[in-house]
A = this chain, B = another copy of it.
Amino acid sequence: MNNKRSSKTEKVIGHQFTAFYKIPIEKFFQFALSVDCIILGYHENRLKLLLIERGAEPHLGKMALPGDLAYPNEDINLAASRVLLDLTGLTDVAMIQTNTYGQVDRHPIGRVVTVGYYSLINVDQYSPLASSWAGNVLWADIDDLPDLAFDHKSIVGDALRILRERVRSQPIGFELLPKKFTLGDMQSLYEALLNTKFDKANFRKRMLSMGLLKDTKEIQTEVAHRPARLFTFDKVAYENLIQKGFTFEL
């Protein structure tokens, strides 16, 4: 399907009010849509945001969120996945909508409405050379971001607020961890995500009691302390618990 729109100006086009203003339908089809991706990773106990350096005006040379215009025949959710794929080589990573930004003057090139998406990626799987953009990407520390182009700073701020809310009520933190992880890894992650400290004993009891972790029976090696057990996230168990009205908390 592609813009099989009527050219009759008076026709009510699927919305109630517009018809009365007698504005040609064509005038309404002048928007461009873009996606901007907040790609978060976790490395060395720090939460990181993937940025690219702009290679064009406006804001040439500034860092910006990876994003792109959506094609007229492209689902916007898929556009977001496409950007992630081009940039990181990753597929099968959920892109979650945050907000949509529709201020009139936000983009100098014209009326570009942008939809924000975040995703949590496991830095191990990240292959930074997947596209032609390898040269100018940066994992920036979330607490030490450079100046960003456009309204990207506020888009990031919104995404973080939303993410932090969501991380408390859904077990999405696991996306950031390697397949096998220790409870210590997990605690550090949550402390970085939520910017707090947890009591070790209580944190483990909470997590283990949920029944979402599967013990791999393996342990760490070559660490300068007692080796920790390695766990995986038990997705099947999670789905089952959800059925029974279970809700992840904190």
Interface residues of A (CB under 8 A from B): 1-6, 11-20, 23, 25, 27-34, 52, 54-59, 66-77, 79, 83, 86, 97, 99-100, 102-105, 107-113, 115, 131-133, 150, 165, 169
Contact = CB atoms under 8 A, between A and B. Distances in A.
Given A86-B17, A111-B3, A133-B16, A75 B56 contact: no
A107 B52 contact: no
A34 B11 CA distance: 16
12 contacts: A1-B104, A14-B112, A17-B68, A17-B86, A20-B132, A25-B109, A31-B32, A33-B113, A70-B102, A75-B102, A75-B104, A100-B115
Q: Assembly of this chain: how many copies?
A: 2
A110 B3 contact: yes
A124 B132 CA distance: 59
Nearest to A77: B102
Contacts of A27: 71-72
A249 B129 CA distance: 45
Nearest to A110: B5
Given A72-B111, A109-B13, A110-B5, A33 B104 contact: no
Contacts of A86: 17
Given A5-B110, A33-B102, A15 B55 contact: no
Contacts of A165: 169
A246 to B, nearest CB: 16
B72 A28 contact: yes
A60 to B, nearest CB: 9
Q: Of A16, A23, A28, A56, which is in contact with the most chain B CB atoms at under 10 Å from its CB? A: A16
Given A73-B111, A97-B100, 18 more contacts: A3-B111, A4-B109, A12-B57, A16-B54, A16-B56, A16-B67, A17-B86, A18-B68, A18-B69, A23-B71, A25-B109, A28-B32, A28-B69, A29-B31, A31-B113, A33-B102, A75-B102, A100-B115
